[in-house]
């Protein structure tokens, strides 16, 4: 029995195997101490700066390991009791929920994908008149508006179908791709085929008009909302467009079974070329303001346009936390993990598996997960800038959610447009103290930290059935660019007034402040990693030993730390549902990101500090041509286009290959002395072998592949020239 005599709506359990993990961490710490003692005790007389560099790099890796241990020291996992929620609250007593879906470019985020996501969240197992779905279109595309108009009609068929068959997932695209036609019930099979044909017809209409690039005149006559585009000069220069396609409070807004439909709203906020629009953060803040006048639900779910609902109970799960009589009043948001529907079996470009399934649980044990920008249910008060206090807690505990808003949402359209104007936020706290925060490329992380710094708690919840499934990058460059933005944004937070050790006091516990560093330090990680990738091979050319002899007992701590650390990483990855080859790909991407994405992130942020660069927001493409998609499914790494990141990767790969070739050639020439050389340089040679193995896809892309996804010839020539030049300078 919980507080106030009620059974709790959720429970919290610590992760299993913590004794094993803590023993492992302690043993690694002891090994690190021995390594540090060796570095200090055996300081060389010559080439001391190279030795010092290795020691500094190892100290950095040790510090970062300490941060990861803090994050994983006490992860917690939660479960909900939805049956208790249902028995405690009648349907009319449940709170309203506003759902925000954001899109920005119909070329990169196809309208068919966007509306499939919209339909999936409209079909939640929740009273439909309590749901309001808002689509923010930052591309201000009449193609997207047309697709949403089609979806509003199809919803009259789709929602009853989902209720009747208990459809999972509720995205029609995902459902019809993964679910076979029912064969046991002829009536249901006929209905299944009818709904599928209706969806395919709608999809074909949307795709045909999208391919035209404009909505034909006869289609524009179907809705007065298209008249708004007469005043649109470009996606970056237009007035606010607000259209309520379904008004859930209108008694005529019903599906084919006579049940109410959720409210459905289209919003394209005003944009002017001379006014900065703050990317996705600005779009979300416009939605917060507009929704406060249209539906004003106390809870807000936001999802990316490619992140469809995979669990129709997700809202009820979240409400088990918010409505818990004991602790619900102090919870600001419930964060679901990101998961991806299009990952290959072995996740060729890595995944967020460990981050989303374990590290966020560790954050939760340390005070609450960070906000990751999608798949998150917020309390409106916390997003509106309110600080948590005992007085507010009393108000939240006493709040009743059975209020009804009188009137029609349609009457508010013109009044609400002003709230989405590009000048509304001037001289206001929006983006600073209210709403989603600006001043960072990772507005989500900064917003979550801001909420936690005001005394609120957050909760991580990973249900058995994943709540949302999205689209991961399908090319190497998309992955690297995405992580470059994330790394730069995290470094931006660390080096600003929003540093967790300053911004988080006094309401965030120290262990949570330290937990944020696991991501804040992504970009600085590049320097130690680059040193370890380049310098040992450099010293092989010059005959400089950087590690103990293989025959020396001082080699044991190095072997132990490296081997045990990697074995633990493999076990952890497989325990979380990955494969051994997937883990190998994760290690490869770990090195690629540290030597390119985070390097360019660090350089860009340094340039910004000196005023030589400005922030830009890159949208990750959600579509790929057939050849790229085929190679992705076959797990063939995609290069294809020129990028300075590829030049760095290829140069480092070739330099390590040349170093290995030089060592092998030298060993053959010396003959009887090869064992002595291996004894002295064994650790460096093994490291070089590992780096060459990791870079095998790069060698294939440069020299052996003939398809269009191979490494561009210009990158190959540049890299060969740079690697040969570096090798020559090293030798002479």
**Would you put residue 578 in left (φ > 0), alpha (ψ -120 to 50) or beta?**
beta
Q: Are 146 and 209 in contact (CB under 8 A)?
A: yes
For residue 227, indicate whether it is catalytic.
no
Q: Report in angstroms the alpha-carbon separations of 220 from 146, 596, 626.
A: 8, 47, 32
Q: Report in angstroms the alpha-carbon separations of 15 from 18, 20, 321, 370, 518.
A: 7, 11, 19, 19, 20
Beta bridge partner(s), residue 57? none
Q: Given the residues 98, 247, 364, 444, select the one marked as catalytic.
A: 444
> Among 9, 7, 24, 183, which residue's Cα sits nearest to residue 572?
24
The SS3 of residue 366 is helix
The three-state DSSP-derived secondary structure of 229-250 is HHHCCECCEECCEEEEEECCCC
Q: Report in angstroms the alpha-carbon separations of 73 from 119, 361, 587, 656.
A: 40, 10, 22, 36
Q: Given the residues 138, 306, 364, 478, select the one marked as catalytic.
A: 138
> Among 648, 659, 660, 661, which residue's Cα sits nearest to residue 711?
648
- According to the annotation, is 105 in a ligand binding site? no
Which DSSP string do the residues of 555-600 spell out, in sequence order?
Answer: HHHHHHHHHHHHHHHHHHHHHTT--HHHHHHHHHHHHHIIIIIHHH
Q: What is the DSSP letter of 94?
A: S
The SS3 of residue 669 is helix
Q: For residues 627, 630, 636 and 641, what is the CA-based torsion angle, rounded to 10 degrees?
A: 20
Return d(Cα 719, Cα 269) in angstroms, integer. Answer: 45
- According to the annotation, is 109 in a ligand binding site? yes
For residue 306, indicate whether it is catalytic.
no
Q: For the chain, what is the total number of helices (H) and then of strands (E)? A: 28, 12
Q: How many residues does the chain have?
A: 732
Q: Are 516 and 500 in contact (CB under 8 A)?
A: yes
Q: Are 659 and 541 in contact (CB under 8 A)?
A: yes
Q: Report in angstroms the alpha-carbon separations of 168 from 189, 228, 338, 566.
A: 17, 36, 18, 37
Handedness of CA 105, 424, 403, 90 (dihedral sign): positive
Q: Which amino acids are annotated as binding site for Mn(2+), given as ranges? A: 280, 304
Q: Which amino acids are annotated as binding site for UDP-alpha-D-glucose, given as ranges? A: 109, 138
Q: Which amino acids are annotated as binding site, given as ranges? A: 109, 138, 280, 304
Enumerate the active-site residues: 138, 444
């Amino acid at each position: 029995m919980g507080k106030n005599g009620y059974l709790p709506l959720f429970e919290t359990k610590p992760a299993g195997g913590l004794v094993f993990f803590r023993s492992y961490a302690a043993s690694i710490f002891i090994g690190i101490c021995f390594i540090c003692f060796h570095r200090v005790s055996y300081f060389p007389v010559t080439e001391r700066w190279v030795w010092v560099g290795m020691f500094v790099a190892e100290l950095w890796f040790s510090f970062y390991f300490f941060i990861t241990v803090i994050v994983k020291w006490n992860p917690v996992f939660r479960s909900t009791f939805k049956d208790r929620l249902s028995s405690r609250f009648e349907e009319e007593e449940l709170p309203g929920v506003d759902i925000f879906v954001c899109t920005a470019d119909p070329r990169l985020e196809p309208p068919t994908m966007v509306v499939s996501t919209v339909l999936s969240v409209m079909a939640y197992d929740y009273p439909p008149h309590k749901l309001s779905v808002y689509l923010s279109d930052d591309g201000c595309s009449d193609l997207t508006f047309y697709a949403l108009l089609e979806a509003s009609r199809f919803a009259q068929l789709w929602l009853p179908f989902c209720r009747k068959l208990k459809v999972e997932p509720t995205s029609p695209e995902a459902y019809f791709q993964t679910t076979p036609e029912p064969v046991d019930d002829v009536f249901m099979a006929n209905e299944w085929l009818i709904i599928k044909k209706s969806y395919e017809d709608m999809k074909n209409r949307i795709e045909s008009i999208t391919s035209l690039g404009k909505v034909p005149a006869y289609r524009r006559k179907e809705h007065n909302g298209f008249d708004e585009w007469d005043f649109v000069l470009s996606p970056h220069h237009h007035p606010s467009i607000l259209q309520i396609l379904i008004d859930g409070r209108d008694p005529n807004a019903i599906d084919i079974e006579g049940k109410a439909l959720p409210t459905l709203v289209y919003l394209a906020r005003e944009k002017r070329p001379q006014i900065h629009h703050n990317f996705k953060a600005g779009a979300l803040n416009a939605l917060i303001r507009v929704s406060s006048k249209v539906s004003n639900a106390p809870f807000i779910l936001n999802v990316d346009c490619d992140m469809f609902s995979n669990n129709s109970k997700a809202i009820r799960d979240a409400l088990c936390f918010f409505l818990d009589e004991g602790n619900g009043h102090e919870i600001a948001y419930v964060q679901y993990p990101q998961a991806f529907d299009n990952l290959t079996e072995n996740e060729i470009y890595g995944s967020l598996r460990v981050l989303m399934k374990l590290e966020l649980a560790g954050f939760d044990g340390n005070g609450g997960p960070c906000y990751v920008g999608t798949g998150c249910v917020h309390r409106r008060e916390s997003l509106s800038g309110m600080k948590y206090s005992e007085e507010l807690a009393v108000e939240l505990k006493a709040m009743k959610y059975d209020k009804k808003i009188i009137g029609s949402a349609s009457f508010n359209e013109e009044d609400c447009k002003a709230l989405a104007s590009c000048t509304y936020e001037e001289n206001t706290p929006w983006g600073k103290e209210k709403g989603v925060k600006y001043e960072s490329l990772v507005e989500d992380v900064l917003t979550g930290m801001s909420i936690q710094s005001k005394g609120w708690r957050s909760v991580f919840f990973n249900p058995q059935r994943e709540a949302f499934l999205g689209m991961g990058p399908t090319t190497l460059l998309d992955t690297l660019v995405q992580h470059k933005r994330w790394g730069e944004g995290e470094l931006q937070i660390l080096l600003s007034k929003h540093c967790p050790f300053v911004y988080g006091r006094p309401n965030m516990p120290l262990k949570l402040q330290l937990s944020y560093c696991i991501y804040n330090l992504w970009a600085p990680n590049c320097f130690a990693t680059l040193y370890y990738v380049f310098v040992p091979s450099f010293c092989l050319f010059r005959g400089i030993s950087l590690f103990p002899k293989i025959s020396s007992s001082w080699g044991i701590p190095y072997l132990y730390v490296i081997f045990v650390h990697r074995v633990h990483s493999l076990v952890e990855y497989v325990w979380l549902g990955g494969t051994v080859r997937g883990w190998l790909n994760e290690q490869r991407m770990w090195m690629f990101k540290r030597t390119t994405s985070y390097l360019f992130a660090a350089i860009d942020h340094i340039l910004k500090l000196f005023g030589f660069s400005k922030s830009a927001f890159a949208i990750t493409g959600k579509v790929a041509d057939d050849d790229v998609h085929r190679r992705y499914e076959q797990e063939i790494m995609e290069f294809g286009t020129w990028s300075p990141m590829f030049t760095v990767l290829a140069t480092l790969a070739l330099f390590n290959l040349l170093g290995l070739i030089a060592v092998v050639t030298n060993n053959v020439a010396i003959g009887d002395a090869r064992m002595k050389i291996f004894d002295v340089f064994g650790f460096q040679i093994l490291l070089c072998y590992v780096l060459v193995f990791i870079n095998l896809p790069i060698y294939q892309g440069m020299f052996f592949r003939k398809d269009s996804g191979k490494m561009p010839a210009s990158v190959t020539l540049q890299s060969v020239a740079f690697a040969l030049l570096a090798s020559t300078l090293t030798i002479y």
